[in-house]
A and B are shown apart, each in its own frame.
Chain A
Amino acid sequence: MTVFALASLALFDVLLCGSRAAAGRDGRIAKPPYYRAAAWRSLVAGSLVVSANGALVGALCATAPDPAAAWRDLLRAGVRCVEVFGAFATLTLIAILFWFAPLRELRIVPTLVVLGPLTLLRPLVIVGGLLFAVAGSPNWRVWLAGIAAGVSMIGIEHVLGRGYVDRWRRLV
């Protein structure tokens, strides 16, 4: 359950990263196909990130002297990650629901609340959440998995953004 929750949270985050990376790069008015493509691209990237982190965790467990104990340590850290990132994702999701509000003004809430301050907070939440998750563990494997997760999740937006940096050139 924890693994599934973590993977879902990571995919959700990368999906939003992909939307942000694509936003502000295309000047057309009708952009649903553009954003659909961005969503697919980010889901693929998110799946790769999740798989890579999963493979790392698998390798860390497999090479541990006591794989079951290593898995327990990693799972304990995973539960803490779910607590922090789950709360952040819930907050984000609630704000996004305002996109479907009947009043136009209320639909601006996600822009003001999610896309602004929470975007600014995201790297801090990732680092803070991972520190909270691994802080109590003496197992270096847990720390390594945490660092890998942090680097990949923070770096993914930059990677996704690289696909859009030159779009403006067709306009000049």
Chain B
Amino acid sequence: MSRPSRADAVELSDLIVDYDPDTLERRDVTLDAVLARLPAPASARRVARALASPTGVLDRARVDAVLVRSHLELQRLHEEFRVGAQMRDLIAPMIDVARRRAGGRRVRVVDLGCGMGFVVRWLAARGGLGPDVELIGADCNRALVTAAQRLADEERLDCRFVAGNAFALREPADVIISIGVLHHFRGDELAAVFAQHERSAATGFVHVDIRPSPIAPIGSWIFHQARMREPLARFDGVRPVTRAHHADALCRAAASGAPGFTLALVDTRPGVAGLLRIFQSAIGVRGVGGDAMRQAYAGFGRRFELA
């Protein structure tokens, strides 16, 4: 039996929840099923065991609790790495394009796999995108969406959250965004996600994810050991750097799944600045040529490159 590669290393949070792909109804997950797919270390297996009820099925309340706590810790990282401001800079030119096409109606930005909606809430609070921009977070996990909505309500932010598929909303997105989501899709799934963009009515997308680099695994391990209190967050936190897609894989998947979009990448080759810029972005705009896109993203200088 061959050992799974590091890129195939699963995240515990992907294993402990399951949804019906059509209805998104939550399904029971058994501890045995989790342990069967979960390799070492023992600490991760301990986390999984702690979530199980005596019947061997994972307790949904415990699972939700651990996910909420882990996402709170994840939000801290996003705050410290100023992900909100980064996303604002990336979507502002895209919104200008979408605004021209929206014909006076609000431009709808939808965060795919929003979790607790930090980016959407940050954009609503500080993004300054304008009153004609509607911000929506979508996630399959109802507990995270509920937490996101409570936080948004508490701060009276002009955004909302829905439990569901970002591509199947009643009111379709003009711009689809995500943070740290793409690496969850492996193999053909990545092209399939881009194909969903192609089938949607979206004008564009901005997907930000961790950039693979030789020093990222050790840096990430140190950081998560030092900063994360939740064992699940510690375990899962270091997985994205080993699962992150390289630029060529992103380009291939986008070209095959979403050929109608002009694709560009930001920060895939940051050089020395890569020590501080740990994220890369895939940007796609429909119906806009490369030159126009380069012009729209001129502020990014050499960080921006057409795929």
5 A-B interface contacts by CB (under 8 A): A24-B73, A25-B72, A29-B157, A105-B277, A168-B65
Which of the residues B122, B157, B227 comes within 8 Å of A24, measured between beta carbons?
Answer: B227
* Binary contact track A91-133/B, C-beta < 8 Å → 1, others 0: 0000000000000111111011001110110000000000000
Inter-chain contact A27/B219, CB cutoff 8 Å: no
Which of the residues A23, A28, A108, A119 comes within 8 Å of B82, measured between beta carbons?
Answer: A108
Tell yes or no: B246 within 8 A of A by CB. no
Inter-chain contact A27/B81, CB cutoff 8 Å: no
* Binary contact track B45-86/A, C-beta < 8 Å → 1, others 0: 000000000000000010011001101110110001110010
Inter-chain contact A105/B222, CB cutoff 8 Å: no
With A106-B276, A111-B80 already in contact, the answer to whether A116 and B143 are too (CB < 8 A) is: no
Tally the A-B contacts, defined by beta carbons under 8 Å: 85
Report A-chain residues with C-beta under 8 Å of the C-beta of B226. 115-117, 119-120
CA distance A83 to B229 in the complex (A): 30
Inter-chain contact A29/B122, CB cutoff 8 Å: yes
Inter-chain contact B68/A172, CB cutoff 8 Å: yes
Report A-chain residues with C-beta under 8 Å of the C-beta of B81. 108, 111
Which of the residues A25, A29, A105, A115 comes within 8 Å of B80, measured between beta carbons?
Answer: A115
CA distance A66 to B155 in the complex (A): 61
Tell which of B4-12, B103-111, B144-152, B201-209 binds the partner.
Answer: B144-152
Inter-chain contact B222/A117, CB cutoff 8 Å: yes
Report A-chain residues with C-beta under 8 Å of the C-beta of B121. 29
Inter-chain contact A30/B146, CB cutoff 8 Å: no
* Binary contact track B223-257/A, C-beta < 8 Å → 1, others 0: 10111110000000000000000000000000000
Inter-chain contact A28/B154, CB cutoff 8 Å: yes
Seed contacts A117-B226, A161-B229, A171-B150; 5 additional CB < 8 Å A-B pairs: A24-B76, A24-B227, A27-B151, A29-B155, A119-B227
The DSSP consensus for interface residues of chain A is: helix
* Binary contact track A1-40/B, C-beta < 8 Å → 1, others 0: 0000000000000000000100111111110000000000
CA distance A106 to B80 in the complex (A): 12
With A30-B125, A109-B276, A112-B219 already in contact, the answer to whether A168 and B68 are too (CB < 8 A) is: yes
CA distance A161 to B227 in the complex (A): 13
Report A-chain residues with C-beta under 8 Å of the C-beta of B116. 27, 171
CA distance A109 to B81 in the complex (A): 9
Query: Which residues A152-172 have CB closer than 8 A to chain B?
Result: 161, 167-168, 170-172
Report A-chain residues with C-beta under 8 Å of the C-beta of B68. 168, 171-172
Inter-chain contact A108/B276, CB cutoff 8 Å: yes
CA distance A7 to B122 in the complex (A): 38
Residue of B nearest to A171 (CB): B147
Query: Which residues B128-157 have CB closer than 8 A to chain A?
Result: 143, 146-147, 150-151, 154-155, 157
